[in-house]
Copies of this chain bind each other. A is one copy, B any other.
Amino acid sequence: MSRYVQRLHDRQTRFGNGICVGIDPRMEQLPPGIVAAARARGGSPLEQAAAAFEEFSLRILDVVADLVPVVKPQAAFFEELGPAGMLALARVNRAARAKGLVVICDAKRGDIGTTAEAYARGYLAGADPEAAPWAADALTVNPYLGRDTLEPFLKVAKERGAGLYVLVRTSNPQSGTFQDPVTDGRTIYERVADLVEEWSAGLAGDDGYGLVGAVVGATYPQELVALRARMPHVPILVPGYGAQGGTARDVAAAFDARGVGAVVNSSRGIIFAHSRPEFRERFGPDRWEDAVRLAVEEMRADLASARA
């Protein structure tokens, strides 16, 4: 039984939803009060932005920790800010773990041999948050470099009770450039899916899932249905719900009959809910956390209605 899958499914069952809140902070969309407080603290522009990202993310965690099973901080936005941003990312991941949240760090790393292992050891804390400085439960991984890019991540994930999400079919409009070409009757993304399924089938515990997950975008709903069937032992992370166009009906196919086996990510639609036209007047900039809470509740109801 994979410790990662057990932890994930325990929380999904407890909260009755498979929502993953994407932590994708952007300066121009933060609540004005957060930005003003960070500016008042001084430091370089990058340090101010990092302070704002950290404060905003920590307050998001406060709102969602008792509502959803999973958060997914996006490394790129923190990394853009340099060392100050990466320090903020480490703190946010640790704070999320301390609140009991499952942390999928969305860093899409990929390299070979001992280099891949360095990424794995840096990110995949698994059971013990102190085991890795970036303190994540799971990491998104890019498969382009091949089987020997994935094996070192798998080795560390097994040792530490952590999880992986391999990019199979991403949600962007031109994801097909190198994922769609047909080879031996299979597309490239189906080849990735088959390798991921092979690994997770071999590692699956009592509940039927292994620790090697897959990223499959909600924006290609028929492919999501086909990939769910093709990878029965694979936990799926579904981006593309909401702002990118995926509906609750589209993502319902990713879950099994027990309502687990998948998590559905929403980033902007939740964390920047205060900017959504229907919420803007109702809450105003000072009650942005109430907008976040309501957005989570609406998403939860939306997902539940599609599964009913």
Contact = CB atoms under 8 A, between A and B. Distances in A.
Interface of A: 24, 26, 46, 74, 76-77, 79-83, 85-87, 90, 108-116, 118-119, 121-122, 132-134, 142-149, 167, 170-179, 181-184, 188, 191-192, 195
Contact of A181 (B86, B133, B174, B184): B184
Contacts of A183: 181-183, 188
Given A144-B179, A178-B188, A195-B177, A77 B108 contact: no
B179 A146 contact: yes
A122 B77 CA distance: 9
B133 A83 contact: yes
Contact of A76 (B122, B143, B170, B178): B122
Number of this chain's copies in the assembly equals 2
Contacts of A74: 115
A268 to B, nearest CB: 10
A16 to B, nearest CB: 30
Given A79-B118, A83-B133, A115-B76, A144 B146 contact: no
Contacts of A113: 172
Nearest to A170: B145
A183 B24 CA distance: 36
Most B CB contacts (10 A, CB to CB) among A113, A132, A181, A195 go to: A181
Contacts of A178: 143-144, 146, 188, 191-192
A95 B205 CA distance: 50
Nearest to A143: B178
B146 A174 contact: yes
Nearest to A24: B115
B184 A133 contact: no
A146 B133 contact: no
